[in-house]
Amino acid sequence: MPLLAALCASASVWASTSADPKKLPTIVFLGDSLTAGLGLAEEEAFPARVGEILAATGHAVHVVNGGVSGDTTAGGLRRIDWLLRQKPAIVVVWLGANDGLRGFPVEETERNVREIIRKAKGAGAKVLLCGMTVPPSYGPIYQKSFSAVFPRLARELHVAFSPFPLKDVAGKPELNLPDGIHPNLAGQRVVAAVLAKDLAPLLETGHERERRSTGAWNGSASSLSYVLADVGHGSASSWPRPRDPFQITSHLSRSR
């Protein structure tokens, strides 16, 4: 399983801050091939990009990429105890795609994700849960039931929720690899912008929360602008809506 340290905006940032990764808050990204960055170098996958954005906005972090191609929620549950040895401040849980593509029982997926979150919170970590949907292959009832698992668990377990990090990437050929499923380098940057915005509040100090509540802090907005400018696609609100992201037949389980 790949493990990588957080990348700052440039090597000089590390040198100027003398940051020791062991003293930085750790963010563990628990996921499948989407998180692993299928077809790309580890430093090009969105977890590393999230680290860059957060560092650029004053929140240097140590990133652990716990993405494993083909993984399911059951696999994630088996791995979570090992990952929690990293003593993360935050665990980002983005699993379920392979469960849905294989038609696993919704109850099984929900049980696994609930237990992953329970373990992470029990270890003292904050959790950002990412939503997932599935293709209509198994019918609209399964699709609706599956998609509902993630927001329901976020509400029930009181954790942060990112509805669908691929929302501005799915269905856009220019942001995906030739398989039409996994984000390419530009797509990884867009996904990173979404997740950095969702993670920023979890890293705020009490002073920063107070400033944000009074409108004096715009760290999240700065993060989003930073990446979108780098990608060169303009503001997210100006992009056309993606086509149905799940008019696909291939699986997310291809090996790296």
Q: What residues pair up with 241 in beta bridges, in sequence order?
A: none
**Sequence-distant (≥ 6) Cβ neighbours of residue 168 within 8 angstroms:** 175, 190, 194, 236, 239, 242
Place of tokens 């939503």: 131
Order of strands across the sheet with 26-31? 62-67, 26-31, 90-94, 126-130, 160-162
What is the C-alpha separation between 39 and 203, in angstroms, rounded? 30
User: Which structure tokens are listed for 129?
Assistant: 């849960």
Closest CA to 70 of 38, 28, 107: 38
Would you please indicate which residues are annotated as catalytic (active-site) residues? Answer: 33, 179, 182
Angle, CA 40 vertex, CA 203 and CA 88 arms, to 5°:
25
Place of tokens 């237990």: 115
User: Which structure tokens are listed for 107?
Assistant: 């109850």
